[in-house]
Each structure stands twice: as structure tokens, then as C-alpha cells.
Structure 1
């Protein structure tokens, strides 16, 4: 119990009276310091410290304004992956840049593939959601849409009424496959990203393909298949190795399965640069030269793609712009208090030809 000796914590009005300014000016000292002179802000902050005030109460502000001043990012992987995978980091940098410009916070909800993590959607104090990766099916989307907040999907299969920002994965994959086929390769292998949420690692056969739920993987595989068929080859004859995450280790493991086949591929298409770098490492471990013995192509154009030896042929996608565009779209809707048009914004991709691909033989 209080003995009456405790000092009452000051309010913004108390600070305003002590300094001789308005409550709005005090609020700006905390929230928009660039609107005040350094001298005035220092005076206000000194008075605030003397009264035990360290800033507006976030919970009270949310009750008053109805806004959390933050957006949520539903991420398909764990937090360590989000800050380790170069493609994810590039996208996150774009989101962070847009949030900084809008003076908005960012809450990351990782591993939304698990029911326990998805329950956090109900509790998240945010003004809207970005959904990155693999949230597929009406059941998965239901708890999110029930919140009634603006939503923008990034690289995701979206239900009707949800805005989408991404790339033409199918067209981009077709482009890189056409490049390899145009060099004269006829024995191809593919290293695929995960097809569904089950941790499977192994051949991606016809039965497995029928169960694919991840849009990005399905679209890239379809793009490869279109180019292969157009070259007069049977797409079903091309071996595909699926791995549950984009990593060099998974790329190595998948490539070893492909490169040890009696009909060893002369070119391997990988659905990410990290997988492709793993393919190069696997080839070296088998004393195979890249690109003399096997050509390798990736996807994303992460910074390391130009630094690995040989430099990696790949698809460049605008990772930073993808995140920034999606976040700006969401933050604009939050600021306007309106809805987001349910359109598809496809950003451009580019085939970057480097030293890891050449004609066979």
C-alpha cells in the first residue's frame, strides 16, 4: 500500500504547464522531435524526466486512437531463418525501410505454419498484416481475415479480395530454363524448394506434385516444365529433388542425388541461389567442374551469387522493392483508413548470365 509519500507520475499536461507550451508540443517532443528546435525539446525532456515521464503510454494511445502504429509480418519460417536467408533479408530490408518512412513499428510473427503460432494472429497489436511465403488454403487464411484488418500478401497464393505483391515466378523460371536449353543441354536436373508443409526431402515425383500447396515452388516448376516441353523434351523425365528449406546444405544433398545418377545431368536448375551454391559445392566434392562438366543456374540474385566461383547464372528479382512495395501499400491503407484494392502487382525479373552456365561437352 502507498504511504502517501509516493510522487504522482506527471502527465503531458503537467509537463506542458511546467515548460509553458501546449500539450501538443510536448507530444511532438516524444513522437515528432524533428518539428521542434533542439533547445525546446531538451527543455521538455528535462521536465519530463523530473516528473518521471518517459513517453506516452502505448496502450493508452492505442485505446485513444484505435491504432497500434505497427504492422505485422506473418513469416513462413523461423526467426533465425528470417535474418539468415539473404533473399528474406533483402525483402525484410524493404519492409523496414517503408516502416521507417511511415514511422511505423514492425511485429514479426514467425513459423506461421504451426497452429500455435497462428493463434498469435488474434493477439497481435497491429494495424494490418503482410503475409510472406506459404499460407495456403481457406482454413489457414480464416483467422487472419477474421481480424478485419488490411492484408497484403507477398509471394503467396491469395484468396479472393486480398492484394498481392510478387513476381511472375512461372515466367522467370521459364526464362532461365530456356537459357540452359538454348545452350544445348538436354539432360537436366532440378532442385526444388519445399512443395508442402511436411519436411519432406526426396524425389518430387508425379504423386508428390499432385499434392503441391506452395505457390512459389509450383509456379517455378511449371515454368521449367514449359520450357522443357517447348524444347521437345518430356518434363516428366527430368529428375527433381525436393528439399524442405533454402540452404547450401540442402542444395548439396539434393545435387549429390542428381549427380550420382547413371544419366547424370549436364545442367541443374535450382529454385534459389543458396540451393545452387550447394549444387556447386556438391559438384566439386565429386571432382566435377562447373560449368565444364555441369552447368548450374539459381534464382534470386542474392549478393553472394556474383561472388561465388564460378559466378552464378540466376534470375534477379527485386527483393528490396518487393518488401518496400508491399509495406507501402499496406501502410498507405492504414493511414487512409481504407481498404486495399485486391490487385496483383508483379515486379520485373531479369535473367543474369554469369560463368556457371555454358554449352555441354
Structure 2
């Protein structure tokens, strides 16, 4: 093709793969001529064999794909990730750690240059395979052995939100947690039942809450802490109803996600309770929906999209290969003024 157009092979390659290396007019002419002559560009498989690179980034999700694509925090993370990968003309292959087909998982994992792992990954076959691959890896929202990570300061964000809520001393406090125990049902936790996995973000948030409460003279027994298995409205609503019908009824709910907090507001209002007069509610995440309801949600804002951008830049070598801990921001609104 280069001979037919009287240009170098590098110029043909740049027209398809590195458009910034050519003027817009010259690139357009080359692409139009290639199309006219039936040449659709370099063979991706051949290029992969030659360079050892696929141009694909494997995004390993701790949850299943349907859940991750509907979760507002995960969606924001993927949006930030895609912004950087689009600019570099890289592809994103979404993988779920919950895929039980090991043969398919191995095949998919062979099609990528490395992995960005999002969410807490339980130790098991997928965990072990990732460590054995020897490919570039960046972990997000948890610490992976021997791997650069990008996290937010979950402990400090939770502690600051609890300290704010405690400025108006409550009578009774309950905590609505997320995946604090290894179960598929909504439940209260028992002593020593918590994940002893210090890397889980929910445990860090819980420690932030309890440290602030203890410093203010409050003791929250295990039976005043609920755990939801998923960050869905259904599970959150069930946990909120159980908490708000318990005795003594809490007048402060510390919620580990905005979805849980929004479900708690709905449950409280449907029970005839006033927010914040009868029960104050604090969330965590800073999703847009929290600002658009009434009463608006007091919450901890985390930089979900920026986590994705930073993880992509580290993966691509555009940013120093070092751990990143992002700060959070307390947003004080109507649900807990």
C-alpha cells in the first residue's frame, strides 16, 4: 500500500494509529485512498504478535457486569477511566471476577496488556491468576499485594461526617453498612463477625464512624450496626426499615453509601418521620441524586471519576507509579444540617 501511494510504511501506520503525526489533510487523503483500494488498516492480530501489545486494558470488576454498570459510583469511575483510554486510542475490556467459567476467564485475560482491578477482590482463583500473570496491574478501592493502588481516604471521610453529625448530640445511633460481613442477606452484625480484612473499604469507613463516636463518649454495640450485601435500593430499604423500627429508634443514621442513605430517607418519610427533625441521615459517595431530592442529603463526596483517570494514567505510564490516596469532602445539606 505504501508503494502504491508513494509514501513510507511509517506514514501509512501513522495515518491509522498515530493521527497526531500527520496533518489532517494528508491523513484524510491516505485513509480515503486506502479505503478506495480495499485496505482497511494494519491487522490487529499481526500487530499484537509483532509488538506483544493488544491495545486492550482489562478492567476486572469485583461485582458482576450488570451491577457495576448500574451502580452510580462504579459508572463514574468507568467514565473517568474511559476518558483517558479514549485519548490514547486504547480499548477497555470489562471482566467480572464472579465469572465461574475459568476457561473463558483465562482466554479473556490473555487478550489484554494488563489489568485495572476495581473493588475488593476476594482471595481465590481469580485473585491468584491475576498475581501470576505478571502483567501491569493497578488496584482501585483496595490494596492488592505488590500492586500500585488508588484509593480515597475512607476512614477520614467517615470520621469527619460522624463528627459533624455529633455536633448535635443524638440519643441513639445506628450504622447502615455495606458488605461488612460475608453473607448474601441483610443482617445485623455480631461481635467478631466483621471481615478481618483491613483492606475492605467498608471496614475502613466503619472504623472512622466508631472512632468518632467513641471519642464523643458513644458506644455503638454490634446489634446497632446493619450490613447490606449489595448497594441496591431493595437491600438498603430493608436495612433502614429494620433500623427505624428497632427499639430504641435511632435519631441518627450513619450510612456507608448514598444509595443506602436515600433509601433510609424514603423509609423514614413513609413511616411518618421527619428528616432531619426526627432522624438525621448522613450518606457517603456524593452522587448527584443526593443533591436533587428533598430533603437533600448530607454526604461525603468522593472523586470517583478522578480515581478512574488516575488509575488509567498510572497504567499507561503517564503518571508516577506510586500509590494515591485521594481526599474526600463533606457536603452539608438538609438531612443532617
**Larger deviation, residues 93-102 vs 346-355:** 93-102
Bigger drift between 263-272 and 186-195 goes to 186-195
Equivalent of 1:274 in 240, 253, 259 = 259
2:129 alignment partner in structure 1: 143
1:17 counterpart = 2:3: yes
Q: Is the 8 A contact 2:181 2:195 kept in 1?
A: no
- Between 1:28-37 and 1:269-278, the stretch displaced more is 28-37
Other-structure match for 2:85: 99
1:236 shift after superposition: 1.9
The answer to whether 1:193 aligns with 2:178 is: yes
Superposed displacement of residue 117, structure 1:
6.3
Structure 1, unmatched stretches of 5+, are 1-14
1:128 aligns with 2:107: no
Structure 2: gaps (5+ residues): none
Question: Bigger CA drift: 139-148 or 291-300?
Answer: 139-148
Asked if 1:240 corresponds to 2:238, the answer is no
- CA offset at residue 123 of structure 1? 3.6
**In the alignment, does 2:307 pair up with 1:322?**
yes
In structure 1, the partner of 2:148 is 163
Task: Compare CA radii of gyration and give the structure with the larger one.
Answer: 1
CA change 1:332–1:197 in 2 (3 A) is: farther
- Tell me by how many angstroms 1:233 deviates: 1.6
Closer/same/farther in 2, CA of residues 95 and 167 from structure 1, 3 Å limit: same
Q: CA RMSD in A?
A: 2.2
TM-score by length of 2: 0.92
Size of the alignment, in residue pairs?
336
C-alpha separation in 1, matches of 2:258 and 2:220? 22
For residues 2-24 of structure 1, the C-alpha deviation after alignment (integer angstroms, 9 at most, x for no partner) is xxxxxxxxxxxxx2122111111
| CA contact 2:150–2:307 (8 Å) conserved in 1 | yes
Q: Is the 8 A contact 1:158 1:164 kept in 2?
A: yes
> Normalized against structure 1, the TM-score is what?
0.86
TM-superposed deviation, 1:61:
0.5
Q: Is the CA contact 2:179–2:202 (under 8 Å) kept in the aligned structure 1?
A: yes
What is the CA deviation profile of residues 74-103 of structure 1, one whole-angstrom value per residue up to 9, with x for unaligned ones? 111222222221111111111111212322
Matched, 1:32 2:11: no
Give the Cα separation in 1 of the matches to 2:333 and 2:102.
41
The answer to which of 208-217 and 256-265 deviates more is 208-217
2:333 corresponds to which of 321, 339, 354: 354
Q: Indicate conservation of the 8 Å contact 2:73/2:285, yes or no.
A: yes
Provide the residue aligned with 2:274 in structure 1.
289
1:215 aligns with 2:194: no
